[in-house]
Structure 1
Amino acid sequence: MPTVHDLADHLAGPLDRARYHAEGDPAGVWLASDREVRRLGLRLEPGRPPYDWAAAFDAVLLHRPFGLWPARWPDGVGVLAAHRALDDRFSTGLNPDLATALGLVADDEPLRRDGNAIGFVGRLTEAGRLDPLVDRVAAEFGGTDEALGDGPGSTDAIALVGAMTAELVEAAAERGAGLYVTGQIRGPAREAVHRCGVRALAVGQERAEAWGLRHLGRLIEARWPDVEVVEAGSSGRVA
């Protein structure tokens, strides 16, 4: 069975660990342990001590580990962390795996903000009615927070973007996207949604982050089928 170090090495490529470690952001082992991992918990953040919930696992994968008190953490339970790497690579932004899950083929040229790639327009094999596409996105994330704009009756392109500005909405619409999917709908972009005739869909920041954690969990399960990956939030979900 793997240790937390083996899990981190397996995720090093997908998370681009070397880059984020060089920038001082966690993308690997946060608390080391030599215990074999048979049960891995997924959770957005550790919460406040006591960490009784963590004792049920051999290791935990966290998105935001920064408030964790090591002195109060259960002995021997390793911690993996993926912070900006998850936000950048496995959320609503530049995320090819999400595109695949939604049946999209991403355009070669990404959507950019300040020169940095932050999302893309993905193409469907054929145009579909907008409402079923919204339902497909909601099912993938386990719900949504907000929808804005009527949008076209059908579309063959969806924008998946890690931020929302008027300029990004306009750029997505110019490429034919009828649906703009992001974490949160931002005020200055609301007018652009109506002006461009698209529909914007906010899945919610925590749902987007939870999707990324679940996906990393699936990568671990694919490599080590005997590792049980469990959503470790207080409600039985990642959050």
Structure 2
Amino acid sequence: MTGPHGVTVTLGDLHAWLRGHLGPDADLHGDPLTPVTNLALALEPGDLPDPPGTDAVWLHRSRHVTPGWAHVPRLTSHDGFDAALTTGENWPLARALGWQDVRAVTLPRAAGLLATPPQATWPELVTALEAEFGGSEALVPPERPDVTRLALMNAMRPELLTAVAAEGARVYVTGQLRPGALAAARQLGLGVIAVGHRRSEAWGLRQLAGDLRATFPGLRTEIHP
């Protein structure tokens, strides 16, 4: 395929773009000069046909690749994808949901965003997030129904809840509910929305596919399953 300037888009071009957007853990397996017209994206090899039947694949988790994949050009990213497109420092999600006054939060072994959502109440916020992610895994209502500030974080531990509450957060949004942190959430009066680990990854996969199509016009992407 050719890119916006009539230049053939290669596996190396896609790799360079991924490293720029997802960080240095974006990896490449195959000849960088391989032309790519069809790209399959999946969270893990088991979500794809074996072999995939496309020019190249992008995988979040690349373990358990079978011998049938030996000659399949592939791109991978684990930590960078999690950090940028799930429940970490996910700026595209903030833009998609219309969050305001957004700033990054970096804490020991955790990262995310603090933001003001357009929804003013807990029920409205839950509705908006469930519509965006296609549901949720667990909901813990806050002490007060009004929502002035939320935290989107890629981990859930008592000290993280305490830190974001001190910054004004009323709701804690994360991927997976951690029962060991529930007592701290209740003590702080925080609401918790756990959207689900795989749901957050699926959101990131859709976002990544859309970003690639926007950057490389003519590139066809297939999301699996």
Distance 1:33 1:172 in 2: 43
**TM-score normalised by structure 2 residue count:** 0.86
Write the mapping of 1:85-164 to structure 2, written as runs, cut at 5 A.
Answer: 85-105=80-100, 107-108=102-103, 110-113=105-108, 118-124=111-117, 128-164=120-156
Give the 3-state SS of the residue equivalent to 1:67 in structure 2: coil
Question: Is the Cα contact below 8 Å between 1:49 and 1:72 reproduced in 2?
Answer: no
Gaps of 5+ in 2: 2-8
Pairing 1:7–2:14 present: yes
How far is the alpha carbon of 1:170 from its aligned partner? 1.8
Pairing 1:68–2:61 present: no
Q: Percent identity?
A: 35
Pairing 1:38–2:34 present: no
Distance 1:83 1:118 in 2: 15
Give the 3-state SS of the residue equivalent to 1:92 in structure 2: coil
1:86-137 CA deviation, whole Å, 9 max, x = no partner?
Answer: 1122210122222222212355461512xx551221123x661211111211
* Shift in CA distance, 30/134, structure 1 to aligned 2, threshold 3 Å: farther
**TM-score normalised by structure 1 residue count:** 0.82
1:126-156 CA deviation, whole Å, 9 max, x = no partner?
Answer: 6612111112112222221111234422212
How far is the alpha carbon of 1:178 from its aligned partner? 2.0
Gaps of 5+ in 1: 21-26, 234-239
Distance 2:106 2:175 in 1: 16
Distance 2:48 2:98 in 1: 41
